[in-house]
Amino acid sequence: MRLTHYLYEVTTGANAWQKYFKGKDIETFTKKSCPVWDINGKKTDQSIETGEPVLVPTSSVFNKGKISVMYKGVPAIISFNNIVKPVTTGGEQLKIPASKLVQMSSGKNVTVGLKTFPAKVFYNSTELSLSIIEGIRNIRTVPDDLKDVLINYLSSNRYSVIDWSGYDNKKLKNEVAKYLGELIIGLGVMNNENVLTGTNPFKGKKVKEFIVPTDSSFAGVDSMFLMKDGNVIPISSKSGKGASASFYINVIPVLVNSKDIKSPSGILKFMVDTAKSNNFKTLEWIYYVGIQYMMKKYLKGPIGKNILSNPYSIYNNIRMNNIGKNEEYLINIISNPKLFNQWPVTKNMKKIVDKLPNSLTYFICQNLAELLNKDKKAIETIIKALSYKNFYQANLNQNKFHSGKVEFKIVHSGSNNLKVLQGKGSMNSVTSEQGRLSYMFS
């Protein structure tokens, strides 16, 4: 019953409707293009574009995943999942990814090493600042008072200091730091300002181009600098401590394709061998490794054999609320108090069990992370793999950013201070969409 109720809330948005909108007048925005339905439930040929302001009035009703809103003074029925929740209790409002802020560059194909990819390219800080200003002006989800602050900053030709002029919305300032930070480093470095601490790969060098890849295959790299001496400095941008990076997307391909790096026996070798033998997506790989490596000895008989033959079916069945004997068998193993001390992480097992089956992905990820962190040879191999990628992580100091100072701590990908994490995915969601098995340099 608990699982059914949870999945109903997730798939229809009923819980979020009750929490954020019911009985209130709420101004919000569309988070993607919205088809419009008529009062008879038929889809019309109209739509509301991404980022458009809409009003959810007190009189609005929630019906089978759809709600009535006011758009440009006219009633419209759209999918509830297509609007942004009020920003006072989570969710992002601004919707200002770097891709929307670099459109003034015509772009070109850039070749780095043996790879050619599409990118937006800027040759000085003025070009970049003008492009960002144009993007900020055109994004409807940025409030006018915040637009004024950002445009004044970008027009100042001094990018190490930002005058907030009394603007005090901490949440939106954090969103600015997260997204604009990817480009601010380009402004500061190209303008020869002192915005870096830690390792400084730019010392004694001059920038020829600031490159923002528009190819999604550049996992973990947000921008890169082409120096006049021909060297390329890739940057992975983080706000504050930053978001952790996907382990499967950034680490495993290097180990799979490298002839020089040999994975030690144990968990890391099993991970690499699994990826080599199958064309898995992230969650599929995580379930195969987690169940076949970590849980195999507990899976007995025909049911255990069936689970081991297709671990990913467990995830899909839970996601679709199709709880059968295989899922119940696995859940009972994890819920068995006699086995609590057998797992790598034991401190939160009661909470994990209370939230099963939704917490299964979290359970697997946190234990795989712990197995890797306890394996010194595995961590050394991961660091070596990432050092081959030779990028720099740029952490924007969030506290100083709030007070008006722009400062990035630069850490090389070969740093010894690496930790594998379970990711930011929630125990409450089996999809763990906010992150599954990740890593971070410190």
How far apart, in whole angstroms, are the C-alpha atoms of residue 118 and residue 179?
Answer: 20
Average pLDDT over residues 430-437: 79
- This prediction's pTM: 0.61
Q: Which residue has the tokens 């509301």?
A: 48
Strands (E), 338-407: 392-396
| Rounded alpha-carbon distances, angstroms, from residue 186 to 86, 179, 180, 227, 251 | 32, 13, 10, 12, 26
Q: What pairing do the DSSP bridges indicate for beta strands 392-396 and 232-239?
A: parallel
Q: Is the peptide bond before 357 cis (omega within 30 degrees of 0)?
A: yes
Q: What pairing do the DSSP bridges indicate for beta strands 43-48 and 34-37?
A: antiparallel
**Residue 100: pLDDT above 80?**
yes
State the pLDDT confidence band at 376, using cuts at 50, 70 and 90. Answer: very high
Dihedrals phi, psi of 80, to nearest 5 degrees: -60, -35
pLDDT in tens, 50-92: 767 788 888 888 888 889 888 877 889 999 988 877 644 345 6
Structure tokens at 142: 């940025």
**Residue 254: pLDDT above 80?**
yes
pLDDT in tens, 318-356: 988 899 999 999 999 999 999 999 999 999 999 999 999
Per-residue pLDDT at 217: 57
Sequence-distant (≥ 6) Cβ neighbours of residue 29 within 8 angstroms:
51, 52, 53, 54, 83, 84, 93, 95, 140, 141
State the pLDDT confidence band at 9, using cuts at 50, 70 and 90. Answer: very low
Q: What pairing do the DSSP bridges indicate for beta strands 74-79 and 245-246?
A: unpaired
Range of lowest pLDDT (168-177, 210-219, 363-372, 421-430) = 210-219
Is 264 in contact with 381 (CB distance < 8 Å)? yes
Burial class (CB in 10 A: 0-12, 13-18, 19+), 108: exposed
**Residue 4: pLDDT above 60?**
no
Per-residue pLDDT at 87: 47
Torsion 229-232-238-240 (CA) sign:
negative
As a whole number of Å, the end-to-end CA separation of the chain is 43
Q: Which domains does the chain have, with CATH numbers?
A: 2-89 (2.30.30)
How far apart, in whole angstroms, are the C-alpha atoms of residue 156 and residue 150?
Answer: 10
Given its phi and psi angles, is residue 41 left (phi above 0), alpha (psi -120 to 50 degrees) or beta?
left
Average pLDDT over residues 144-152: 95
How far apart, in whole angstroms, are the C-alpha atoms of residue 252 and residue 183?
Answer: 28
Question: Which runs of consecutive H residues, i.e. helices, occur in 191-224?
Answer: none
Average pLDDT over residues 281-310: 95
For residue 29, how many other CB atoms are within 10 A of its CB?
A: 19
Question: 384, 66, 408, 98: which is closest to 240 by C-alpha?
Answer: 408
If one compares 149 and 214, the residue with the highest pLDDT of the two is: 149
Q: Quote the crossing angle between the two packed helices 267-277 and 282-289, to the nearest 10°.
A: 130
**Residue 21: pLDDT above 50?**
yes
Structure tokens at 386: 């990432």
Instruction: Give the SS3 label for residue 79.
Output: strand
Dihedrals phi, psi of 344, to nearest 5 degrees: -55, -40
Tell me the pLDDT of the chain averaged across its residues.
Answer: 87
Q: What pairing do the DSSP bridges indicate for beta strands 408-412 and 196-198?
A: parallel
Sequence-distant (≥ 6) Cβ neighbours of residue 371 within 8 angstroms:
267, 294, 344
- Composition of the chain by helix, strand, coil, percent to 5: 40, 20, 40
Average pLDDT over residues 285-292: 97
State the pLDDT confidence band at 170, using cuts at 50, 70 and 90. Answer: confident
Range of lowest pLDDT (153-157, 243-247, 416-420) = 243-247
Dihedrals phi, psi of 104, to nearest 5 degrees: -70, -20
How far apart, in whole angstroms, are the C-alpha atoms of residue 209 and residue 226?
Answer: 5
For residue 285, how many other CB atoms are within 10 A of its CB?
A: 22
Dihedrals phi, psi of 35, to nearest 5 degrees: -65, 150
Per-residue pLDDT at 209: 95
DSSP summary character for residue 341: G
